[in-house]
Amino acid sequence: MEIIKYCKSLADETRARLVNVLLEYELNVGEIVQVMKMGQSRISRHLKILSDSGLVAVRREGLWAFYRASDEGPGRAFLDGISSLFEGESDLKRDRNRAEKVIRERTAATRQFFDEIAPDWDRMAAEVLGDLDLGREIQARLPECDCAVDIGCGPGDMLAVLARTSQQVIGVDNSPKMLELAEERFSDDANMSLRIGEMTHLPLRDWEADCTVISLVLHHLARPIDAIREAGRVLKIGGRLIIAEFDQHENELLRSEYGDRRLGIPRDNMVEWMEQARFEIGTIQEFPVNMGLVVVLYEAEKK
């Protein structure tokens, strides 16, 4: 019986604490060790039991594995039924607070990484993209509109592309150094607005934009769907979303040298997230680039 399997899996304080954290966050083993303050072998043993039971899902990418509470099937139904029991426990709240701190530290480390590489960004991008003129491909898909937003704008390469078809352009990034470089390029452009913020909490009003672009940044996020939903929040009904993202790959160099959290995103996952965020997907096109990578361009409309 499934109910007995699930109850046995949770009949241990450590495993209950793990599920409590993984209901809210996707973490790798090292991050879970930080949160739980236990040895890796002990954590791995408990994670295997939870994974075998169907209460925890594992996403493997290259040399890394990421864990989260199952988000579908009978395991998810069971977790939905008991999740409220975790809320009032002070010890479990402390675990969630530690997990939130780990996430903040990870975000700060990513921001510092991009601050440090900002002056070399154009060279690094060229190493990966080779002959692909991504700006030209995105421009060919842009509608003429009043307001366009580049989410994760970096030093502003795509902002110049958006400015050709939009009356007002907004660039959002969480790296102050990247925004400084963008400011140097567009300081005299009254129609350009640069804003610091997270992709998952955009500094824009509901329905402010006619078009949004997310170019090669979703692989830095633990939950890309949150950024896609935010893009949907700021888009008007019928607004256009264009996403450029690496297809799933196995090149660990992108993690070690370019700060990527994910080794690309499988096309099926991207389509599923966009549909969950209430986008109607249009064309999807692939572009092979350097390092054995493939850039996939997605076009969608907010329903």
Q: What number does CATH give the domain 2-87?
A: 1.10.10.10
Domain with CATH 1.10.10.10 in the chain: 2-87
- Does domain 120-302 sit in CATH 3.40.50.150? yes
CB 245 within 8 A of CB 202: no
Helix/strand/coil for 77: helix
Helix H or strand E segment including 148: strand 145-151
Longest distance between any two alpha carbons in the chain, whole Å: 68
pTM equals 0.82
Domain with CATH 3.40.50.150 in the chain: 120-302
| Rounded Cα distance, 295 and 242, in Å | 13
Task: Write down the pLDDT at residue 194.
Answer: 96
Residues 6+ apart with CB under 8 A from 86: 16, 19, 20, 23, 92
| Rounded Cα distance, 162 and 215, in Å | 12
CB 173 within 8 A of CB 182: yes
pLDDT tens-digit readout, 205-229: 999 999 999 999 999 998 899 999 9
Q: Which band of pLDDT confidence, cut at 50, 70 and 90, is reported for residue 68?
A: very high
